[in-house]
Structure 1
Amino acid sequence: MTTAAMTEKMREGRGFIAALDQSGGSTPKALRQYGIADDAWKTEDEMFDLMHAMRARIMTAPAFTGEKVIGAILFEQTMDRMVDGMPTATYLWQKRGVVPFLKIDKGLEAEADGVQLMKPIPGLEALLARARAAGIFGTKERSVISAAHPGGIKAIVAQQFALGAQVAAAGLMPILEPEVTISIPDKAEAEAILRDALLEALDALPQDRQVMLKLSLPSVDNFFAPLVDHPRVLRVVALSGGHARDAANAILARNRGVIASFSRALSEGLSAQQSDAAFNATLAEAIEGIWSASVGG
């Protein structure tokens, strides 16, 4: 196994994580942003074929290497497919030096107490075993906070850490993602409640266990520094959350120890209609900007 080498890359790597994990509900929007209209596909399989072609084009681009992209989060179908004739996770690690992660959540419950918990994940143990066999290093699981509701946020954190324990038991590294919606009026208050709940849960972890955290860019610079410095945290990464790339990079650069895990902000400006030269140049510029913000913070 290459777990030790991947762990070291995640701990010490100077770079960011690419989020290439758009799933069913977000895929049509991602394809539209990439210049592929809804009438270009008729079935879900055709839709995911188009999405995989986009992801493969990104992963095989010259700038997409472990020098600046230290990890990539994959959708389950992406893990199960091939890139350049190799299983995706194998290609990423062996050919690009990029640590592969897998999105495992199956969407969100209806909002209650200002939050959306994760839906149940049928067949979780089998999925985790399959991911580990495929060479996946860790998982990512997302829930959403839409109000500064202490009870709701504590429920989010409890669910995230319970799932993280299952992931760790399967030999994988969990990325816990309790996303705070960036447009809510009480975002700073929600972040304060979340940080306290995360610190309490981290303090309760066994000494030999670590998790990663994926959080919305904070309202106050370096607000997550206690999480960055916590011994149970391997790495803190940030989602762009709807910010345009330049705005997200500017905020990220002001936050010490936090690196990017951008999705839409990474693919901003990419188009199916671009020549390979134009596509690769646009992606290289995006990677350079996100990398600079990640390593300079």
Structure 2
Amino acid sequence: MDEKQLDKVKNGKGFIAALDQSGGSTPKALLAYGVLEDSYATEDEMFTLVHDMRTRIITSPAFNANHILGAILFEQTMDREIEGMYTADYLADKKGIVPFLKIDKGLAEEENGVQLMKPIHDLDELLQRAKERHIFGTKMRSVIKEPNEEGIRAIVDQQFEIGKQIIAAGLVPIIEPEVDITSADKEACEHLLKTEIQKHIDQLHDHENVMLKLTIPTQANLYKELIEHPRVIRVVALSGGYSTEVANDKLKANDGLIASFSRALSQDLNANQTDDEFNQALETAVQSIYEASI
């Protein structure tokens, strides 16, 4: 593990940028960026367009280490290049930003009020490739919709079971059991989730450290004990569909919680903007999210 990157993620001021839309969410991300579905005919063409979008974001002067600690990449982004360098190397060497990788394969059908992750059949190979590409850590997402104790326990058990495999491979896992912001019982879900996470992190050994990516809680500072836990490197927040303004306002109410936003970072970016317009829109978003995070 790169100790300099670890110190940056653990102690640095800033936020984690989420640039990890995958196959299912890519058309929606491109559409929000102003790229219509008739602009591409094949999946390869679609992924090339989304890589072009991410390249434009990453190479922008507004995307810099003064405000951004790390960036989460989609698998194909990791395997593609920016200016002749693999994306993770470009982030680390050219930008001073720590690279993470989304490793989950999507969500299973809802059961007991939650959606577990689908099996990750190629996990060992993927983690090995991530290390070869100089990835620091990983991210994996599951979703909680109802305050069902059995379902939430299953979510957290699965996250930490895979998390330990990731630690054993020499990477840092970002555990992401998202609570759906539209849940009628969002706050109840969050209290159950906190209890289950606490059980697991209390059982981690000294060499087993994790990050947590959680929905901004309804009750401000609910996750204070998790943020301060010695086995937790950092707790970051997903925007969960909130607009930038709403997500930032909610984030500011939670001490020590920093952003890991996707939609809220890119919502005002458009393929048809000039470079000056694009860079200004990105700078405005980056600055606002940074200020909410510190």
* Cα distance in 2 for residues equivalent to 1:222 and 1:244: 20
1:109 maps to amino acid: A
| 1:207, distance to aligned residue in structure 2 (A) | 1.9
| 1:80, distance to aligned residue in structure 2 (A) | 0.2
Alignment pair present for 1:126 and 2:156: no
* Cα distance in 2 for residues equivalent to 1:143 and 1:193: 15
Query: Aligned pair count?
Result: 294
Task: Deviation per CA, 1:221-247: give whole Å up to 9, x if none.
Answer: 111101101111000000000100000
How do residues 43-192 of structure 1 correspond to structure 2 at under 5 angstroms?
Answer: 43-192=42-191
| 1:208, distance to aligned residue in structure 2 (A) | 2.1
Task: Deviation per CA, 1:94-121: give whole Å up to 9, x if none.
Answer: 0001000000000011000000000011
SS at match of 1:262: coil
- Structure 2 counterpart of 1:32: 31
* Cα distance in 1 for residues equivalent to 2:237 and 2:30: 23
Alignment pair present for 1:269 and 2:275: no
How do residues 221-240 of structure 1 correspond to structure 2 at under 5 angstroms?
Answer: 221-240=220-239
* Cα distance in 2 for residues equivalent to 1:66 and 1:97: 6
TM-score by length of 1: 0.98
- Structure 1 counterpart of 2:283: 284
Alignment pair present for 1:204 and 2:198: no
1:284 maps to amino acid: E
Task: Deviation per CA, 1:244-269: give whole Å up to 9, x if none.
Answer: 00000001011111100000110011
Task: Deviation per CA, 1:57-110: give whole Å up to 9, x if none.
Answer: 000000111111110000000000001221100000000010000000000110
1:190 maps to amino acid: C
| 1:162, distance to aligned residue in structure 2 (A) | 0.3
Unaligned runs of 5+ in 1: none
2:179 maps to amino acid: V
Superposed CA RMSD in Å reads: 0.6
Please say if residues 164 and 208 of structure 2, whose CA atoms lie closer than 8 Å, have aligned partners that are also in contact: no
* Cα distance in 1 for residues equivalent to 2:221 and 2:274: 40
Unaligned runs of 5+ in 2: none
* Cα distance in 2 for residues equivalent to 1:253 and 1:133: 37
Alignment pair present for 1:21 and 2:36: no
1:217 maps to amino acid: I
Alignment pair present for 1:259 and 2:258: yes
* Cα distance in 1 for residues equivalent to 2:180 and 2:97: 28
Please say if residues 107 and 116 of structure 2, whose CA atoms lie closer than 8 Å, have aligned partners that are also in contact: yes
- Structure 2 counterpart of 1:219: 218
**Percent identical across equivalent pairs?**
55
Deviation beyond 4 Å, 4+ runs, structure 1: none
SS at match of 1:143: strand
TM-score by length of 2: 0.99
* Cα distance in 2 for residues equivalent to 1:271 and 1:198: 38
* Cα distance in 1 for residues equivalent to 2:132 and 2:3: 16
| 1:27, distance to aligned residue in structure 2 (A) | 0.4
SS at match of 2:260: strand
For structure 1, which segment, 267-276 or 203-212, has the greater mean C-alpha deviation from structure 2 after superposition? 203-212
